[in-house]
Amino acid sequence: MTTEAAYAELVSRLKRAHVLGTVNGLLGWDEQVNLPPDSADLRGEQLALLAELQHAVASDPRVGELLTLLDGQPGELAADQRVVLKCSRRDYDRVVKLPPEFVREKARHSSQTFHAWARCKAAADFAGYVPFLEKQLELAKQEAAYLGYAAAPYDYMIDRHDPGMTAAVIERLFAELTEGLVPFMREIVSSPVKARTGLFRGFPVEQQRAFLHAVTERLGFNYRRGRIDVSLHPFCEGSAADIRMTTRFDKDNPLDSLFSAIHETGHGMYEQGTRLEHQGTPLGQAVGMGVHESQSRLWENQVARSRPFWRFFEPRFRETFSAQLGAVSSDELYRAVNAVRPTLIRVDADEVTYNLHIILRFEIEKRLFAGTLAVQDLPTAWNALAQELLGLTPANDREGVLQDVHWSGGMFGYFPSYCLGNMMASQFWYKVHGDLTGLEEDFARGDFSRLLGWLRRNIHEQGRRHDTQELVKVVTGEPLTPKYLLRYLRERYGPLYRA
């Protein structure tokens, strides 16, 4: 068999697995957007069957044969092909190390734990959740052991979401971030300047929908290869050829639906920016969750909370909602967009305090995987950290340790990605301003194309060519550092909260 034929067969097999994955994703999207309430059982079966088929295609021994054949001919492959080979080797070696019985057991337990979590959260009953979470943690450690990470299971959890990243690197980055962030947050909290609450009342959903559609389209989302719908928790799903994103609407909180939509648009434009001809191969895939979050956060925060952005969109916002915004001044609107107010709930947090929510979760996960914290002692540890970092103590576990869905699905090691994404977004932000002058003037004219073009060339079109830390270094010339995030937060929020 020629190298060329082996490579072509490998790609066609990767694409089959990818297409199955997209069907799985579409069913998952439909589950959260459209599914009738009593149809969940069938959907569970459909998703499980597809996951099994996808696993079978991805772990087919023929893929292993092709990889071995190609591994022996590196000189005959082009640079792009070597990237595909390297990443596919990594994926294949991982997928075949997990016994199918284990994959099934984990899927079954995750589904049970999700329902237990929803029940226990509603009742603020942590004790009822303990046995489910304990088993989920055991399964995670078991999985790490199968993958050769028995001695460092938390590193495996992190690497799964951000390839190449480790707990030790994150610990160093977060320590530096905490040192700068906690005093800055205290300055803001003690500032006599406060954003006014209750500014917004009675914004019709249809008009909100039309407005956010116009905004996200102007940012660069391609609605011919994607759409936006409504779900309880906003998310983005899909790949370049078909992106499904969601937001949620509240008549009295139009900024929530708008910023959720812009956040998901950032995720969607990352996927849409990968090259269509590479779909299904690692060159058409995102690096990991940290880089993904850097894209959503950059559009949501650095761009959409900026003055130039509002210089363009404020007149349009006022035109759409003239009755509702009559008594709101420009300054009040801008302060509302950039309100900082510590809260116990991560998903409600502003961009200054958000990182502290993540640092808290990272501390907890580290201890859980090191075996120095037992699941049953989680609430005590959680509440102590919430007080230390945010200056707030949850009244019950619903607004404390039970608030997030991630652990119920076994998604340990996912939280740090959010904060790494914030750091990367700032680092990219300063770099792009160094590379391109006049971006602010672009934004004030409603033109975001040069920014998007830069992100496409430097990040989106690179697919998985580099791992998380390499990408940051290649793009910005520096290793990942929290100093740009700290600088950005000071530059944006310092003047707003200076008395």
Which residues are known to be catalytic?
A: 264
- Whether 245 and 268 have beta carbons less than 8 Å apart is answered as yes
Restricting to residues 125-154, name those near Zn ion by CB under 5 A. none
Query: Could you tell me the smallest distance in angstroms from the CB atom of residue 422 to Zn ion?
Result: 11
Q: State CA 85 to chain mean position distance.
A: 26
Tell me whether residue 221 or residue 369 sits nearer to Zn ion (CB atom): 221
Binding-site size, Zn ion (CB under 5 A): 1
Tell me whether residue 290 or residue 463 sits nearer to Zn ion (CB atom): 290
Restricting to residues 97-116, name those near Zn ion by CB under 5 A. none
Tell me whether residue 172 or residue 233 sits nearer to Zn ion (CB atom): 233
Query: Could you tell me the smallest distance in angstroms from the CB atom of residue 235 to Zn ion?
Result: 8
Take residue 334 and report the two structure tokens written for it: 């801008």
Tell me whether residue 136 or residue 296 sits nearer to Zn ion (CB atom): 296
Tell me whether residue 312 or residue 418 sits nearer to Zn ion (CB atom): 418
Take residue 449 and report the two structure tokens written for it: 């194309």
- Whether 471 and 162 have beta carbons less than 8 Å apart is answered as no
Query: Could you tell me the smallest distance in angstroms from the CB atom of residue 291 to Zn ion?
Result: 11
Distance, in Å, from the CA atom of 369 to the CA atom of 186, rounded to the nearest integer, reads 31
Restricting to residues 246-305, name those near Zn ion by CB under 5 A. 296
Tell me whether residue 375 or residue 485 sits nearer to Zn ion (CB atom): 485
Query: Could you tell me the smallest distance in angstroms from the CB atom of residue 91 to Zn ion?
Result: 23
Query: Could you tell me the smallest distance in angstroms from the CB atom of residue 289 to Zn ion?
Result: 8
Query: Could you tell me the smallest distance in angstroms from the CB atom of residue 64 to Zn ion?
Result: 34
Tell me whether residue 20 or residue 485 sits nearer to Zn ion (CB atom): 485
Note the maximum CA span of the chain: 74
Q: What type of residue is 54?
A: Q
Q: Quick check: 469 binds Zn ion (CB under 5 A)?
A: no
Distance, in Å, from the CA atom of 443 to the CA atom of 306, rounded to the nearest integer, reads 9
Tell me whether residue 265 or residue 296 sits nearer to Zn ion (CB atom): 296
Query: Could you tell me the smallest distance in angstroms from the CB atom of residue 129 to Zn ion?
Result: 25
Query: Could you tell me the smallest distance in angstroms from the CB atom of residue 357 to Zn ion?
Result: 14
Chain residue at closest Cβ approach to Zn ion: 296
Query: Could you tell me the smallest distance in angstroms from the CB atom of residue 67 to Zn ion?
Result: 32
What is the C-alpha radius of gyration for the chain, rounded to an integer number of angstroms? Answer: 23
Provide the mask over 159-188, with x wherever binding to Zn ion is found by CB under 5 A and - wherever it is not: ------------------------------
Distance, in Å, from the CA atom of 338 to the CA atom of 475, rounded to the nearest integer, reads 28
Tell me whether residue 143 or residue 293 sits nearer to Zn ion (CB atom): 293
End-to-end CA, the chain = 73
Site of interaction with Zn ion (CB under 5 A):
296
